[in-house]
Structure 1
Amino acid sequence: MKVTLISIPVRDQEKALKFYTEKLGFLKKKDLPLGGGNRWLTLVSPEWQDGPEILLEPGPNHFEPCKVYQDALLKAGYPYTQFDTDNVDADYKRLMDLDVEFSMKPTVMETVKVAVFNDTCGNNIQLIEHL
């Protein structure tokens, strides 16, 4: 088995697409209409275009338990998922320059350096650099 897709719940797919492509630098891979204004909208890393896809899932708009879970994670400050990076400090500076809101500045925690930002779509996302 291997991971080919991760799903991130978002409340506005268009807003999420803009954030994840323009600020984070991901590339749109698939954009298929599903009806009702929903899309099968996936992104990939520019460094690993054949790697796992991120599905910008409109689940919180259609499934109340998903919305409750997303709200609880956000309120508690827990990241929904994490993205690995080679340099947390450089990504932190680049994203701060793009007005991305961080709840945790780059912080060393034993064998990793971590930072956490808000994706503007209902999620905290953790950046992690293995030291």
Structure 2
Amino acid sequence: MKVTLISIPVLNQEKALQFYTETLGFIKKKDMPLEGGNRWITLVSKEAPDGIEILLEPAPLHFEPSKVYQEALMEKGIPYTQFDVDDVDGEYERLVALGVEFSVKPTVMGTFKFAVFNDTCGNNMQIVEML
């Protein structure tokens, strides 16, 4: 058994697609229409194009428990998930220059450094560097 796909709940799939590709640098892998104007949009990392796919899931628009969970995480400042990076400081500077808003600046905690940003689609996301 292995992980091949993770879902990230997003409030607007098109806005999420633009942010995750143009700002974060992910690559669109699949984009197929679904019922109700939704799409099956998956992304992959440039560093691992055959790796785990990220599904931009429109669940908060159609499934109230997903919306409540997403809003609760945002309210508490808890990241929905994390992305590993080689250099948190460098990635932080790159993203700030692109207008990304961080709620937590690069911070060392034990054997890792992290920072938390708003993905503009209803989620806090964390970038992590192992030290």
Corresponding letter in the other structure for 2:61: N
Task: State the 1:35 CA deviation.
Answer: 1.6
Match of 2:89 in 1: 89
SS at structure 1 position matched to 2:34: strand
Q: CA deviation at 1:121?
A: 0.3
State the secondary structure of the residue aligned to 2:80.
Answer: strand
Matched, 1:71 2:68: no
Q: Give identity over the alignment, percent.
A: 73
Where does the alignment leave 5 or more consecutive residues of structure 1 unmatched? none
TM-score under structure 1 length normalisation = 0.99
Aligned residue type for 1:2: K
Distance 1:2 1:116 in 2: 27
Q: TM-score, normalised by structure 2?
A: 0.99
Runs of 4+ in 1 over 4 A off after TM superposition: none
Distance 1:53 1:87 in 2: 22
Q: Residue 94 of structure 2: SS of its match in structure 1?
A: helix
**Post-superposition CA distance 1:25-55 (Å, at most 9, x none):** 0000000001211000000000100000000
Deviation of 1:2 after TM superposition, in Å, equals 1.1
Number of the residue aligned with 2:2: 2
Aligned length: 131
1:101 alignment partner AA: E
Query: What is the root-mean-square deviation in Å for CA atoms of aligned residues?
Result: 0.4
Corresponding position of 1:12: 12
Separation of aligned partners in 1, 2:90 and 2:112: 15
1:20-99 alignment runs, 5 A limit: 20-99=20-99
- The amino acid of 1:118's aligned partner reads N
User: How far does the alpha carbon of each residue in 1:92-130 deviate from its partner, in whole angstroms, 9 at most, with x for none?
Assistant: 000000000000000000000000000000000000000
For residue 106 of structure 1, give the secondary structure of its aligned residue in structure 2.
strand
